[in-house]
Structure 1
């Protein structure tokens, strides 16, 4: 294992400290509890928090700042943050207007955020939540955890954060976030596995001449293994899966071409070229396109495609100013 780290057991805290040191005027860090907050606390709006396991940087702490999150809480690598860490984030950002929690659809995250919200209620902190479940590789079902939350979470942060900055109520912010969730779909492909720092070797294997279609951001099994394909073929496979789940035909959409941590930007731009061609063929207008690493899986190579169908409200919130380490407008 070759990684620029100190101790494998300290990577999360060291990374968050390094992030705070890069933006000392904007962010504050609570050591050991692994919470990143806006340094200038807002007192006149609904607060917004999110979080989950580390290893997906810049998700979640990279989206703390004006127009997006008020705080992000991290667990260990690929592990949900504990209720006490989440509770700390809730107390840090609460200003009497309520707190919206953006949660990815994993059982540990849902359980721990729920426990933290129950405890916060005893302290008089009102909370609400939205569950992001955008990964079309997994069936959407009522029983069990069902569909995973992945890169589309970034768009939910943006929409909810912009609505909160407008001074909307907790229910209004939640409603806008829920609208975004309903209109977002994501599908990804992995080329190689990732190496967990504490383990020092890949947690799973992908053959040298194969790719894994639909693999999750923690290395969860995909829907199929396939021989290596061209960028055009990958774009077709991923978009076909998205379109089979949600009809974007004739719509305007925000597009996210997301790298999983180890994929060069050159390849992401090539994938974007093919996606844009396919969108035009299907009469889908790409209103805004993001290309880069927004929700990663440590050093996994691969990419995901996310579409968010837009109406006038969502377009305005997408275009609203924000200032965070990972996304600025």
Structure 2
């Protein structure tokens, strides 16, 4: 294992120290609870947005804290859910008097711990908390970590759109409604060319031969639909698009198309793949209104890609275009 770390035990805490040093203008860190917080929060009268999950998916979630997105992100150990006390601390820290929305990827530990934290926040602090669970991965119905579909790329799009709506002053009920709608209208599919190595494990999560790829992989290295011979970019694009379109009709509405690198795939290949995916979508009558290409929800150093399509409307597109200023996503400001 070759990694630029000091010790396996301190990877997350030392990464948070580095994030704080790099972005003192936007972030503050609650190191005791490993929570990344918006520098100017809590914002009075604004709904607080809290997300989080295991570390190793950067910039998700801490890199999306700031104006126009999240108010707080809880950093669990690598590929390990944050604990209820962390989430409770984040919920309290972002409460500006208008309630808090929890944005949760559908992994069993995340769902359970966010539910417990919401109950604690209501009982101990009187904070109204709502939650939306993202379950957009069409690869498998159940997995090693979930009951139901996994939550992946739609989470990034949801945090951006709902973050803009919160910034505009919409109330908790309105944010919960649009977040639920986004979760229901987003679909994702991924593939891996290599595994990744969790520092505590010290060896790859799984093995892939040089001439193989895994279709439908999860962001923690979970098994996918099938292991296949290595394919061309054009063939891989078909493999990603077809199951997404088979699961939801994306014609007749504007679509946000998100091509995401898993951590070890260069932008050269990501853009090449976007071009191939765009050809397939055009042939299928899907109208792409907005696009995002880059490594935004990763799996350490895994080489691979995921595709996310979101069936949007004009309100979502307006919110997508709104200014955002976070370490991981920034435009319009």
Aligned partner of 1:33 in structure 2 is 33
1:8 aligns with 2:8: yes
Q: Is the 8 A contact 2:251 2:287 kept in 1?
A: no
Aligned partner of 1:115 in structure 2 is 116
Cα distance in structure 2, aligned partners of 1:191 and 1:132: 25
1:206 aligns with 2:208: yes
Aligned partner of 2:219 in structure 1 is 217
Aligned partner of 1:152 in structure 2 is 154
Aligned partner of 1:134 in structure 2 is 136
TM-score relative to the length of structure 1? 0.97
* Cα distance, 1:140 vs structure 2: 7.6
Alignment of 1:1-329 (within 5 A): 1-41=1-41, 42-122=43-123, 123-139=125-141, 145-329=147-331
Cα distance in structure 2, aligned partners of 1:157 and 1:290: 14
Gaps of 5+ in 1: none
Q: Is the 8 A contact 2:213 2:227 kept in 1?
A: yes
Q: Is the 8 A contact 1:239 1:305 kept in 2?
A: yes
State the Cα RMSD in Å.
1.2
Cα distance in structure 1, aligned partners of 2:119 and 2:312: 34
* Cα distance, 1:39 vs structure 2: 0.7
Cα deviations across residues 55-86 of structure 1 (Å, max 9, x unaligned)?
10000000000010000001100000000111
Q: Is the 8 A contact 1:13 1:32 kept in 2?
A: no
Report the number of matched residues.
327
Partner SS for 1:4: coil
* Cα distance, 1:32 vs structure 2: 3.4
Partner SS for 2:150: coil
Partner SS for 2:324: coil
* Cα distance, 1:10 vs structure 2: 0.8
Partner SS for 1:180: helix
Partner SS for 1:164: helix
Cα deviations across residues 144-193 of structure 1 (Å, max 9, x unaligned)?
71000012100110111111111111010111111111110000000000
